[in-house]
Chains A and B, each alone.
Chain A
C-alpha cells in the first residue's frame, strides 16, 4: 500500500489524540474513588451524583444560556461581515475585517482582561451577560470564516435574477440567498455554541459569582474527591459534543451538495 509508513504514523498520531478521551469513560464507570489503575467495579453512581448536584445544574443552565446567546449573536454579526466581504468592495474593507477577525490571533486571556477592565470601569456588574459579550467576540471570527465560505460559493446572478424579476433586495436575500446559505448558518451556530460552551478563561474573568460549566469543573479539579464525578461529567460532555459535531458535519455536507461543490472536507 502506498504511504504505508505515513499511514502507520497517522494512526499512531490519532491514538495520541484520542488517548485522554478514551480514558474518560473508563474512570467514569469505575467505582474507585482514586482515578488510577487497577480498576475496581463497574458503577453508575458518579452519574447519579451529577444529577443531584444543584451547583452543577446552575452552571449548566448558565452555560447553555451563554452558549445559545453567543452563538446567535456571533452568527448574525458573522452574516453581516461575510456578506460585506463577499458581495461588496469598499475602502477600509481589509482593516475592518482584520479587526473583526483579530480575536483569532489574540491570546484569550488578553481579550478577557481588557474587557474586564473596561466593564468594571464603566460600572457594569459581572454576570452571565458579560460572559455573553466576551464569547460573542471570540465566536464571531469563526462564524465569519464559515459563512464567508458559504456566501462565496453562491452564484451572484441568482440574486440579480430575483431582483430583475421584481423582488425587492431584502426579498431576494430572504427567498434566494438565505435558503442556500442555511446549512452554513446552522454549522456556524453549532460551532459557536460548542466554542462558547467550552471556553474557560474569559468566563473565569467575566462571570463574577455565576458558575459556568468550565469554571465549575476548574473549581472542582482541586478536590480529589470530586474527580470521579468530573470524569462522568466529561463523558457526558464528550458524547454531547460528538453529537453536535456530527450534526454540524451533516449540515456542512448538505450545504456543499446544495451549492454543487464536491466534498473535500470544507477546504476548497
Chain B
C-alpha cells in the first residue's frame, strides 16, 4: 500500500478486519435481499429475471398493509410509553441521586434487561393471563368473580411487555444527555427569574432532546421488528411485520417476496426515523 507508513495507512489497516467482516456478513447480505426482492420466485429455485412484481404484491396485499400499519402503531405506542415512563427515572438518576450511588442505580436498572428476553416476555403472559397472577390475585381477594379476559392477547398487553423489555434502552441515553447539561445554565435560568417549571421547559428539556431522540430511535426500530412478543403475548392473533417476514422466508419459502417485505419495512422505518429527526431539528430551532 502506498500510504502504509502514514497515519491514515495505519488506521486503514487497523480497521480492515472488522470492516471486512461487516462488509461480508452485513453489507453483502443486505444488498442480496435488496436484489432478491426484485427477482421472480420460481418455487425452490430462483429465476434470474428482474421484476417489480414482489413489491406490487406486497403493496396490493391488504394483509400486508394492515400488518404494517399495526406494527407502526404498536411501535409508536410502545416508544411513547417507554420514553415518557423512562424520562422521570433518568431525571431522577441525573439530578437527585448522589454521584457515588449512580453506578449502583444504573446497575439495578440494567440487571433485568440482561436476563432471558424470552422468559421475561413469557412471564408477562403469566402475569396477565386468564389464570394469571393478576386474575388469580384479584379472585382470591374477592374483587372479581370471573377472570378478566381483556388483559391478554391484545395490543395493550403487547405495549406493556415491550415497554418493559426496552426500558433501559430509553433510560440510559436520556440519562447521558441530562448528565452533560451544564448545571450553571439551570441556575442562570432561575436567577433570571424563570420558575422551576419554565426552566425545565426552556433549558433542561431542549438540552436533553438529543438523549430523548436517541431513546425514541433505539426503542422504535427494534420494536418494529419484534417477533417474540406478538407471537407469545399476542397469541398469534395479532401478528406484526416480523411474523410476516418469518412466514414468507421459512414456512412459505418465498424468499423474493419475503425480501420485498423486509426491504419495504426497513425503508419505512428509515424514512420515519429521518422524518422524525428532521421535525425535531425544526422544533429545536423554533424554541431556541
Contact = CB atoms under 8 A, between A and B. Distances in A.
Contact of B11 (A20, A90, A105): A90
B7 A90 contact: yes
B123 A3 contact: no
B114 A137 contact: no
Interface stretch (A54-62, A157-165, A258-266): A258-266
Contacts of A218: 118, 228
B80 interface: no
Nearest to B35: A117
Contacts of A118: 28-29, 32
B19 A96 contact: yes
A140 interface: yes
B89 A13 contact: yes
B112 interface: yes
Q: Which of A24, A37, A121, A137 has the most B CB atoms < 10 Å from its CB?
A: A37
Contact of A19 (B95, B127, B221, B258): B127
A7 B105 CA distance: 12
Contacts of A7: 92, 96
Interface stretch (B51-59, B130-138, B149-157, B201-209): B130-138
A233 B123 CA distance: 13
B98 to A, nearest CB: 10
Interface stretch (B185-193, B242-250, B274-282): B242-250
Interface string B228-247: 10001000000000100110
A237 interface: yes
A109 B225 contact: yes
Contact of A84 (B15, B118, B218, B242): B15
A217 B116 contact: yes
A175 interface: no
Interface residues of B, number: 91
Contact of B33 (A27, A83, A113): A113
Q: How large is the interface on A (under 10, 10 to 19, 20 to 34, 35 or more residues)?
A: 35 or more
A218 B125 CA distance: 14
B12 A117 contact: no
A125 B224 CA distance: 29
Contact of A113 (B16, B175, B179, B262): B262
A99 to B, nearest CB: 5
Contact of A245 (B21, B22, B91, B114): B114
A31 interface: no
Contact of B164 (A17, A96, A204): A17
B1 to A, nearest CB: 12
A114 B24 CA distance: 12
Given A96-B15, A117-B33, A241-B115, 4 more contacts: A3-B95, A89-B11, A107-B222, A201-B242
